[in-house]
Amino acid sequence: VVGIVVCEGYGLTETSPVLTARNPENYIMFTVGPPLPEVEITLG
């Protein structure tokens, strides 16, 4: 479809639903982007 930008993001059912996303102005292919505002991510 012409004129539509598709960006990748990441989420889980447990996180209801989106954790990270890239906006179209800061798009890097094959990345899910930084955490959204007010989202804290802990790896463990």
What pLDDT was estimated at residue 1? 62
Q: Which residues make beta-bridge pairs with 9?
A: 21
Q: Domain count for the chain, please give it.
A: 1
Over residues 1-36, the pLDDT tens digits come to: 688 877 778 888 887 778 888 888 888 888 888 888
What residues make up the domain containing 26? 1-44
Round to whole Å and give the CA distance between 31 and 44.
21
Look at strands 9-11 and 18-21 and give their pairing: antiparallel
